[in-house]
Structure 1
Amino acid sequence: MTSSEIRRHFLDFFQSKQHLIVSSAPLVAKNDPTLMFNNSGMAQFKDFFLGNGTPPAKRVADTQKCLRVSGKHNDLEDVGFDTYHHTMFEMLGNWSFGDYFKKEAIHWAWELLTEVYGLPKDRLYVSVFEGDQKDNVPFDQEAFDLWEPIVGKDRIIYGNKKDNFWEMGDTGPCGPCSEIHVDLRSPEEVAQKPGKELVNADHPQVVEIWNLVFMQFNRKADGSLEPLPARHVDTGMGFERLCMAIQGKKSNYDTDVFSGTIHVIEELSGKQYTAGTDMGDVAMRVIADHIRAVSFAIADGLVPSNSKAGYVIRRILRRAIRYGYSYLNLTEPFMTKLVPTLAIQFAEVFPELNAQRDFVATVIREEEIAFLRTLGTGLGRLDQIVSDTKATGSDAIAGETVFELNDTFGFPADLTALIAREKGLGIDEEGFQKALQEQKTRSRKDAASSAGDWIDLTDMDNRVEFVGYDQPADYAHVVKYRKIQNKQGTQVQVVLDKTPFYAESGGQIGDTGTLTFTAGGIVTGKLVVLDTKKENDLVIHLVENVANIDDLLTDADSVYAEIDTTRRAQIAANHSATHLLHAALRDVLGTHVAQKGSYVGPDALRFDFSHFSKVTDEQLAEVERIVNEKVREDIPLDEQRNVPIAQAKDMGATALFGEKYGDFVRVITFDPSYSVELCGGTHVYRTGHIGLFKFTAEGSVSTGVRRVEAKTALGAETLVNEQMAIVTELKDVLKAPKDVVKAVQDLLTERSALQKQIEALQNEKVQQIKNSLLDKVTPSNGHMVLVERVDVPSADALKQLAYDLKAKIDNLALVLGADINGKPQLAVMLPDSLIQDRKLNAGQVVKELAKNIKGGGGGQPFFATAGGSDSSGLDAALVQGKELLL
């Protein structure tokens, strides 16, 4: 049975059990501050378990792309060294949202594994939760009673909290689980030791393949458990492990999930994969695994970068490149060549990769080129560091050195740690973090906030009705609130049952405005809404913490929620402009252009898109012309809500890669022949409301992604007025009422002529100084010595003087010092005789002399310069220099 057939049988089986088959969520988690990546099948359904949203059906099944490389769930270090861990993997799952529970989940799991897939019953073991006294959760007797008549008491294992109580994070839905393990050993191995003794013992052939989680509780911020509003089923089966079991393989990497990719790696490297433990085989497994994680992450809208999720992807990619370089002699870009095979393999189940395979391959290739430039040098440097570290008797590479490898050669700390471990060393992680903190120059966003538990004020089901498309204000009720601690201090998050406030999403920032509270018909207070965000499916209004906040929220019988309409109008103008811009970019640059990110605020818009070269001034001008033409056409907005996704696609609607759309979507159209997009944001009613569109910047964001910035409406008007004011002021200053450009050109021409005159005068002065110094040169031990303080106008003049003197005098050793505009400068020139016979180095000499002027410098062995901050030390530097040369 092929992997495609195995996946199809799973989905067909649960479809026959009245489950709705849904698509995978993107790898990058959306609107969930507790997750960077979707690391399990349940992540996209988390809000349904909490009662914050309505699932598309009571029963659901899917295959979910998961990534486990950060946080609590991190399998990165095991990948390649064992047979069954992965960074990205597929998790097959079936879900019940308040419908069936343990009985159906257990019976269906057994039916699928033994009757559909044909796994031998005597090779399967199950586990049940033994209970936990601390959490006051009892032994799962219900699961035991269901399993006993199926597998027998002897094939049931009692699992502790670590193995049989599933929690996605520190807070959130959780509950006891029942795992199913399979013993894949040979009959001879089974006869020697029962498989039951090897369950959860990290045996490579006795592995968990399915986890049936019975969601009963919610873990609160204080660690306590509370029952969920309804009981749910959340199952997750590792697709790769299932394929290993059904196809009778000893390793996930021996299945057809990976064999096609490994075959390409064999062809590229000229080495044969033997499924062994030597580093060549490990490297092939690492590469075959990592290319999936990187490719699908990029296809889902992520690009490698130096921060957050993008940095994780860059780390994974560089780890794979290093294994290929070190153990397979792959010194040219090779990861990019694996993308077509991967795209075709997954085209049916995950078509987003095949749709973007050229873009994904190009991004990976550029990343490879950049890293390979420094990899060889960096590895050589690391070999020396390892040798030096061992020579000192230390067992760990210094933190500052780890940082240097990261900063100079692009080696992430975990890559250095991996290589060091291969050499029998560790790294000083604490020292690295300290160096990283001290050297960090880029700004960081606010420190992560800590949130208290929600205080529920109503029995409502937490579903929030958004009315902001149609009205700027409405009456509502407080559903819940909680206090959070962040960089601004204590703030409060408020959830209403109805709101006109748009929560930050899809690049559009959240609304601001006011909440006015009423109790008994009397206004009791007003709070300013600082921001509106989405957490899972909750719309959260962020307000300041005031003294009577608890009474204000608890006692209110109604809330008048009102947005800042002026701010919203400007945001809407910028958002609609991004739609016109997207269409214009595709017209001018080509249909390969796809949105890769955006910012839509009241001040400006920013639009990131796939493109591999700078957008020329002429192309920008044409895009701007088209957008403004559409603005002047005053095209009316055609907004359609709750459109079936298939119908929207038939309309030609543009969807964003990396976004998960439901069965019904909102379609925004400005002329069906020009711009049709799936979008949840707010827009102008006619394009004429945009007023004016003006570009302000164009540049590169990352490999294969460009960024343009622009202003519209009031922002564009203000920009134009500011630029006109500058031109008017220039006319006045230059006394050029008609042709400012010609006046500036005339000034530049005059400036250039004067600069040449100055340079000629300075050169004449340098020549005079040179001639005066020739008489001061003295012989010493076979070479000529000149140590003098000189008066020159610039550092370049000092350098020119040194070279002119060298051209005049053979075997010259000199030290020149100068005070240039209050800044001391030194220059050292050495002849070959001193370099070879006395092992002197001009760079080392100038560094030593520079200590006198509180500075530093360097250069080549024969010539070097230095600058400093203390001119009073010049004479001492010259005295020391003379002693060194004589």
Structure 2
Amino acid sequence: MRNLSSIRKTFLDFFQKREHKILDSSSLIPHNDPTLMFTNAGMVQFKNIFTSQEKRSYKTAATVQKCVRAGGKHNDLDNVGRTTRHHTFFEMLGNFSFGDYFKERAIKLAWELLTKEFDIDCRRIVVTVYDGDEEAFNLWKKISGLPSNKIIRVAGKDNFWSMADIGPCGPCSEIFFDQGEGYLGGLPGSSEAGDRYLEIWNLVFMQFEQKSQKERCILPSMSIDTGMGLERISAVLQGKTDNYDIDLFKTLIQASEQITGVKYKGDNIINHRVIVDHLRSSSFLIADGILPTNEGRGYVLRRIMRRAMCYARLLGYEDPLMMRLFPVLCSEMGSAYPELIQAQLLIEETLKVEDMRFRKTLDKGIYLLDEVSSSLEKNAILDGSVAFKLYDTHGLPLDIMQDILWARGLGGVDVASFKQSLEEQRSKARSHCLGLGEKITEKIWFSLKEKYGTTKFVGYNIHHGSKVIEGDEKKSDYSLFQKPSVDFTQGIPAIVKAIVLQDSIVDVARAGQKVEVLFDQTPFYAESGGQVGDTGIAVGEGVSLQITDVQKKVGGIFVHHATIEHGVLRTEMPIILTINYQDRRQLSINHSATHLLHAALRTILGPHVSQKGSHIIPERLRFDIVHSKPITREEIKFIQDHINDVIAQNYSIITRIMNIDDAIASGSSALFGKKYSDKVRVVSIESDDGRVYASELCGGTHVSSTGEIMLVHIVSESAVSAGIRRIEAVAGQRARSYLVEQDEKLRSLASFLKVQSSNVVKRVEEIWEERRELHLINAKHKLKLNVDDLSCHTIANVNFMSHVIPDADFKELKGLIDMLQKKIKSGIIMLIGVSKEKKASVVIAVTQDLIDRFNAINLVRLSAKVLGGSGGGGRPNMAQSGGPDGNKVDQAIANIVSFLKNKIEK
């Protein structure tokens, strides 16, 4: 029996032998399509080729593409587990032609792969063609020999594909597998529904361009885009009618059975399916750099993870199940997708932390579901908007809420209003996602790229005003520079190729106007890799420009944002470009320091650390990393010392141009989710004896040795979001200046406190402790003044006293308990402190004579749920808890009173 891995390999080998370029799967984060939440088809990475906005060195390709359909328009999440074929994550096999072969060869290749390589009985194959595409109909008949009744003409959208309302489009031909007479369903295109005919491959013939709703023309270069689900074709080749019965899922489900002790049968079939499916999508999304958050792609990931965690609870399993299953997935898929192995620690830590965090949320969600449904009469239906809030905020899946409500004799959830609320949320997520991808590149930059090609960057080797031009200096004609007033030593000569003013291409621009300028070559670095673009000036005959920013647009053209200071700027005029060398020098220092920081973090915190973002400006560097907990002061000191030790050893910083495969094989690190070209620039930090301290794929500017950095000082460490930490640092002369400033502040503070600089911390601690003691005395005084007025409820002969004290913390609350216990002798005391941020701290004490009836720990935990917290601890006679919602203190007190009444009356 062919396993899934061998089927994947057979597909790629088949097309490689037929002169197709075999490409890796692109990231699940679409690189060039901000309209997509996730990559959901094989053609996504080729979209710009299909629209003629990009050209590649090859005309045919084949891929196995990672896909996720769990957010936005393409969303299979709710169906997963309940059908045999829906998945949130799947692999899409595809072959592509960009103006090379068309219908005939596409059909030949498909037929040969299915019937020869995969050995599928041709009698079990049925195909459809677009009604009116007689060419495809005749080609299928000629190539396959299928009878006419198995080549079915289908009209409508199902057999005609378009990228959007405007753009490339064309008819489809779908290939179906006949599962046999034991299944219901008529031929494709018929009205007889059923699963007998299973779609396994879709061939798209891109031959038209939709100009408008009424106008469609033939493309000058016709293309092929095909897609076949690996899981579905594996089921066919393994003789299975259920995707979850193929070897990959079988292995994962067996592991889930073994860990949970629950068999894959009956009601638990759905539970196991959801868990193993969502494990795949969660793991691959994390490997591509997405982490669970409350917005955009991270929000969808959190929904997927928490849905799986809910189903794990239905199996009665309380520990982080997906974390324990991940090594099995890694073993099965890690050879095909090495990013799983590279990110293993990160994935396992993320799965574990999210599971631990969700436990508290899930408990509260079920508690709130109990609360909102308790007043409903038998067979009553819960408002869908209320259910959606529990789904959105607390992660309770709709189907689990339905099961809970039905078990209580209720009518379940109003699904229509739930879906309405869900669609509103998805619209927000989609609008957020539009800002995550690259901005849709304006047509103007595509046209300029086609006309002038890639901008030649000559700025890597410029330092302190020296001029080094890489490549052929004769590319442009600079003989127009005749006036002796132009100083060549102060900049790089260039030719103005295009001027854009207010989104229009112009030939002339004048003083005071803000323009975007394209030169044939430039020493100005364009913003990328976290490093901001260079600033500087441009001077020509009778004109000067202040360049404020440089951005890289499609195809590697550098767009210079500038203000014309004086004179007239014209296309094709010669000009001298001079960067701000002082800022460039500091940017290079900071960028090299960022590489040192990244390497030190991985060395000291662990290899799970990966870059989530950076921002490098002359004043400082900012670096965001994946790490699940705060970095301690001791760790920061180790990291800082480690970096400065490498600086002191004056390692060389070397750049090389390498093939991407060779660079990765050499150990150079690359950013998750970033798309790289075949040739990459590698920046390595190496000792004199060849030991590599750090090596990264990077296009930024750097100093030539670590000694030039002089010093790195970490200024701050903070949380950006769950699992993401941010480090800010200064380097070089900026670091020295920062430390001098800090020393001056310390000296001023020491003078103010009238102590030596070395005793400042000790004196501040003493003052802080004195303040706390005064605050406690003041609180006790206030309470003593009112102690006689405090109400003491008597509940069936048990005294109960409660009081809310603004700004009191746990220590202060416990200090006040003794005073009140002396007053009531016997009873229960509940004190709540509420901070200015509205966070609540609760302390409950039970006198010794009541401990056998009431436990303080149980009481504070009951309070915590109301206040938005969870847990609580202490001793049976005194315990503490808290929560973020201090506005509900009255409800928390009322809950305790109600609980005591019920218990005493029983």
| C-alpha distance in structure 2 between counterparts of 1:482 and 1:741, whole Å | 59
SS of 1:195 mapped into structure 2:
coil
CA shift in 2, pair 1:495/1:266, >3 Å: farther
Which of residues 234, 245, 257 in structure 1 aligns to 2:225?
234
Partner of 1:265: 256
Instruction: Quote the offset at 1:99 in angstroms.
Output: 1.6
Task: Give the partner amino acid of 1:638.
Answer: I
- The reply on whether 1:679 has 2:698 as its aligned counterpart is yes
| C-alpha distance in structure 2 between counterparts of 1:791 and 1:34, whole Å | 51
CA shift in 2, pair 1:448/1:425, >3 Å: farther
Partner of 2:302: 314
Which of residues 626, 642, 646 in structure 2 aligns to 1:626?
642
Partner of 1:749: 766
| C-alpha distance in structure 1 between counterparts of 2:703 and 2:264, whole Å | 59
User: Does the CA contact (< 8 Å) of 2:345 and 2:608 recur in 1?
Assistant: no
User: Does the CA contact (< 8 Å) of 1:453 and 1:482 recur in 2?
Assistant: no
Which of residues 134, 147, 152 in structure 1 aligns to 2:140?
147
Task: Give the partner amino acid of 2:276.
Answer: A
- The reply on whether 1:163 has 2:158 as its aligned counterpart is yes
Instruction: Quote the offset at 1:712 in angstroms.
Output: 1.8
- The reply on whether 1:570 has 2:586 as its aligned counterpart is yes
Most deviating of 601-610 and 452-461: 452-461
| C-alpha distance in structure 2 between counterparts of 1:365 and 1:649, whole Å | 29
Which of residues 823, 846, 851 in structure 2 aligns to 1:808?
823
CA shift in 2, pair 1:613/1:460, >3 Å: closer
User: Does the CA contact (< 8 Å) of 2:495 and 2:519 recur in 1?
Assistant: no
| C-alpha distance in structure 2 between counterparts of 1:503 and 1:790, whole Å | 58
CA shift in 2, pair 1:350/1:437, >3 Å: closer
User: Does the CA contact (< 8 Å) of 1:62 and 1:92 recur in 2?
Assistant: yes
Task: Give the partner amino acid of 2:187.
Answer: G
- The reply on whether 1:716 has 2:735 as its aligned counterpart is yes
RMSD after superposition: 5.3
User: Percent of aligned pairs with the same residue?
Assistant: 34
| C-alpha distance in structure 1 between counterparts of 2:585 and 2:376, whole Å | 62
| C-alpha distance in structure 2 between counterparts of 1:443 and 1:247, whole Å | 39
Instruction: Quote the offset at 1:698 in angstroms.
Output: 2.8
Partner of 2:859: none
SS of 2:273 mapped into structure 1:
helix
Instruction: Quote the offset at 1:251 in angstroms.
Output: 1.5
SS of 1:681 mapped into structure 2:
coil
CA shift in 2, pair 1:361/1:723, >3 Å: same
Partner of 1:107: 108
CA shift in 2, pair 1:411/1:779, >3 Å: closer
Which of residues 425, 450, 464 in structure 1 aligns to 2:414?
425
Instruction: Quote the offset at 1:103 in angstroms.
Output: 1.6
Partner of 1:247: 238
Instruction: Quote the offset at 1:723 in angstroms.
Output: 1.4
Most deviating of 313-322 and 670-679: 670-679
CA shift in 2, pair 1:64/1:695, >3 Å: same
SS of 2:222 mapped into structure 1:
strand
Task: Give the partner amino acid of 1:511.
Answer: G
Partner of 2:597: 581
Partner of 2:268: 280
Task: Give the partner amino acid of 2:202.
Answer: N
Partner of 2:35: 34
TM-score, reference length from structure 2: 0.74
Instruction: After superposition, give the CA deviation of every residue in 1:438-495 in whole Å (9 maximum; x if it has no partner).
Output: 9xxx9997999888754865592785245154368643534999959xxxxxx99887
CA shift in 2, pair 1:532/1:792, >3 Å: closer
CA shift in 2, pair 1:74/1:531, >3 Å: farther
Instruction: Quote the offset at 1:14 in angstroms.
Output: 0.8
- The reply on whether 1:195 has 2:195 as its aligned counterpart is no
Which of residues 856, 860, 869 in structure 1 aligns to 2:893?
860
Task: Give the partner amino acid of 1:607.
Answer: F
User: Does the CA contact (< 8 Å) of 1:37 and 1:66 recur in 2?
Assistant: yes
CA shift in 2, pair 1:454/1:392, >3 Å: farther
Task: Give the partner amino acid of 2:757.
Answer: V
CA shift in 2, pair 1:387/1:144, >3 Å: farther
User: Does the CA contact (< 8 Å) of 1:124 and 1:181 recur in 2?
Assistant: yes
Partner of 2:59: 58
Flag structure 1 segments of 5+ consecutive residues without an equivalent. Answer: 131-138, 485-490, 547-551, 833-842, 848-853, 865-886
Partner of 2:903: none
Partner of 1:345: 332
Partner of 2:477: none
| C-alpha distance in structure 2 between counterparts of 1:712 and 1:352, whole Å | 32
User: Does the CA contact (< 8 Å) of 1:28 and 1:38 recur in 2?
Assistant: yes
Which of residues 446, 451, 457 in structure 2 aligns to 1:467?
457
User: Does the CA contact (< 8 Å) of 1:624 and 1:693 recur in 2?
Assistant: yes
User: Does the CA contact (< 8 Å) of 2:623 and 2:727 recur in 1?
Assistant: yes
CA shift in 2, pair 1:181/1:224, >3 Å: same
Partner of 2:316: 329
User: Does the CA contact (< 8 Å) of 2:287 and 2:339 recur in 1?
Assistant: yes
Partner of 2:482: none
User: Does the CA contact (< 8 Å) of 1:127 and 1:179 recur in 2?
Assistant: yes
Alignment of 1:533-548 (within 5 A): 537=555, 539=557, 541=559
Instruction: Quote the offset at 1:759 in angstroms.
Output: 5.3
CA shift in 2, pair 1:365/1:763, >3 Å: closer
- The reply on whether 1:122 has 2:123 as its aligned counterpart is yes
Instruction: Quote the offset at 1:217 in angstroms.
Output: 5.0
Task: Give the partner amino acid of 2:533.
Answer: D
CA shift in 2, pair 1:104/1:469, >3 Å: farther
Most deviating of 794-803 and 677-686: 794-803
| C-alpha distance in structure 1 between counterparts of 2:760 and 2:75, whole Å | 64
| C-alpha distance in structure 2 between counterparts of 1:601 and 1:222, whole Å | 47
| C-alpha distance in structure 2 between counterparts of 1:857 and 1:98, whole Å | 72
Partner of 1:294: 282
| C-alpha distance in structure 2 between counterparts of 1:653 and 1:444, whole Å | 31
User: Does the CA contact (< 8 Å) of 1:792 and 1:798 recur in 2?
Assistant: no
CA shift in 2, pair 1:515/1:315, >3 Å: farther
| C-alpha distance in structure 1 between counterparts of 2:273 and 2:895, whole Å | 50
CA shift in 2, pair 1:479/1:64, >3 Å: farther
Instruction: After superposition, give the CA deviation of every residue in 1:118-145 in whole Å (9 maximum; x if it has no partner).
Output: 2122222223334xxxxxxxx4343233
User: Does the CA contact (< 8 Å) of 1:493 and 1:540 recur in 2?
Assistant: no
Q: How many residues align?
A: 798
Instruction: Quote the offset at 1:625 in angstroms.
Output: 2.4
CA shift in 2, pair 1:725/1:443, >3 Å: farther
User: Does the CA contact (< 8 Å) of 1:332 and 1:372 recur in 2?
Assistant: no
CA shift in 2, pair 1:84/1:540, >3 Å: farther
User: Does the CA contact (< 8 Å) of 1:403 and 1:432 recur in 2?
Assistant: no
Most deviating of 720-729 and 464-473: 464-473
| C-alpha distance in structure 2 between counterparts of 1:791 and 1:173, whole Å | 68
Alignment of 1:265-664 (within 5 A): 265-274=256-265, 279-326=267-314, 328-386=315-373, 388=375, 396-399=383-386, 402-403=388-389, 406-407=392-393, 409-411=394-396, 423-426=412-415, 427-428=417-418, 454=444, 457=447, 460=450, 463-467=453-457, 469-470=459-460, 474-475=494-495, 477-478=497-498, 502-506=525-529, 508-511=530-533, 513=535, 530=549, 532=551, 537=555, 539=557, 541=559, 556-557=571-572, 566-591=582-607, 593-609=609-625, 614-641=630-657, 643-649=658-664, 651-664=666-679
| C-alpha distance in structure 1 between counterparts of 2:648 and 2:389, whole Å | 54
Flag structure 2 segments of 5+ consecutive residues without an equivalent. Answer: 461-468, 470-490, 505-513, 848-862, 868-886, 898-906
Instruction: After superposition, give the CA deviation of every residue in 1:76-106 in whole Å (9 maximum; x if it has no partner).
Output: 2222222222111111111222222222111
Alignment of 1:12-27 (within 5 A): 12-27=13-28
CA shift in 2, pair 1:515/1:539, >3 Å: farther
| C-alpha distance in structure 1 between counterparts of 2:68 and 2:695, whole Å | 32
| C-alpha distance in structure 2 between counterparts of 1:793 and 1:292, whole Å | 47
| C-alpha distance in structure 1 between counterparts of 2:392 and 2:594, whole Å | 37
Instruction: After superposition, give the CA deviation of every residue in 1:600-626 in whole Å (9 maximum; x if it has no partner).
Output: 344432334455665443332232223
Partner of 1:135: none
SS of 2:656 mapped into structure 1:
strand
| C-alpha distance in structure 2 between counterparts of 1:528 and 1:719, whole Å | 28
| C-alpha distance in structure 1 between counterparts of 2:765 and 2:845, whole Å | 41
Instruction: Quote the offset at 1:239 in angstroms.
Output: 0.9
SS of 1:464 mapped into structure 2:
coil
